[in-house]
Amino acid sequence: MQKQIRLLSLLIALFLVPMAALAAENAKQPLIGISKIVSHPALDAVEKGIQDELAAQKVGAKFDLQNANGDANTAASIANKFQGEKVTLAIGIATPTSQALVNTLKGTPVVFSAVTDPVKAGLVRSLKKGEKNVTGVSDMTPVRQQIELLLKIKKVKRLGHIYTSSEENAVVLAGIVKQVCREMGIEFVETTVSKSAEVKQAVQAIIKRVDALYISTDNTVVSAMSAVTDVAMKNRVPVMSADPSSAEKHPVLAAWGFDYYKMGRVTGKMVAEILKGKKPEQIPTRFMTRASDVDLLVNLDAAKKLGLTVPKDVVKSANKVVENGKLTQK
């Protein structure tokens, strides 16, 4: 009987030791909260890139993935949730969610990603260094080059632009678009929205007065890209976008912008550095500067429907081409 008791005790111990070790290991895992302003291909790609990079660096983190669905109040609620959970580090994907995290999580490291102008957004005072517990990655987009590309395909006298008046990044980019149009002698026709449900009506309001539409990395508008292209194609007006990811599934004439999955990987590297002991204030805002960081998509099907011819050199320089309903990546 005593032998049986000893054997049972040994079996219990053998079972409990690995369970205890697993519990201890889980307790060591950092809890990372990720808050994105809305779900669309570009921001989803950032989120995936972050997770993949941390996995590649063998950072065994747990994630709390949250989506504010384009609502600033929800973004604030998510920030409060992360504070209550005492997350190890928080990541804001896009400007509004990053602002909410920085305003709420005073003692917790916050890494922003896909933020156009982090200085004007109040996240950092300088691009050359981070703030205490705050740093991240910018997606300032090459507006002038994008409009110049559009002009290679179609002569434009009046350029339409729809943007979200409550998104700091969208307002900053609208100012840049307006300035570029002024310098190029193009009439700038703008209209604003406050939520994605208003996008279709906004496009309808200006579509008869423009030769083309320019869509920036405005998350609210990009999340309603189907509404933009639906109205635009019916009126034979081309769309130039700064977001190649969302353009893959919609008849956008051309899209030139960052590979947001790679941006997620860069953000993940930054997060790993902080988790390994580097202070956010020691890390300046990072930018996507390599040629391989940028995608150019050209939709030859959309061009054909619009009666436009895309120059051969533009097609040759594109690394994504849509033709006969098929997306080819070079």
Which tens digit of pLDDT belongs to each residue from 130-154?
A: 999 999 999 988 899 999 999 999 9
Which residues contact residue 173 at a Cβ distance below 8 angstroms, ignoring those fewer than 6 apart? 116, 141, 143, 163, 216, 217, 218, 242
Q: Which residue has the higher pLDDT, 119 or 16?
A: 119
pLDDT of residue 21: 42
146 to 253, 254, 301, 328: CA distances (angstroms): 12, 9, 20, 21
Taking 60 as the threshold, does the pLDDT of residue 22 lie above it?
Answer: no
Q: Is the distance from CB of 118 to CB of 138 less than 8 angstroms?
A: yes
Adjacent-strand bridge partners of 258? 294
Adjacent-strand bridge partners of 111? 91, 135
Q: Is the distance from CB of 239 to CB of 252 less than 8 angstroms?
A: yes
Domains of the chain: 10-139+260-291 (3.40.50.2300), 143-258+292-329 (3.40.50.2300)
**Dihedral class, residue 307 (left if φ above 0, else alpha if ψ from -120 to 50, else beta):** left
> pTM to 2 decimals?
0.80
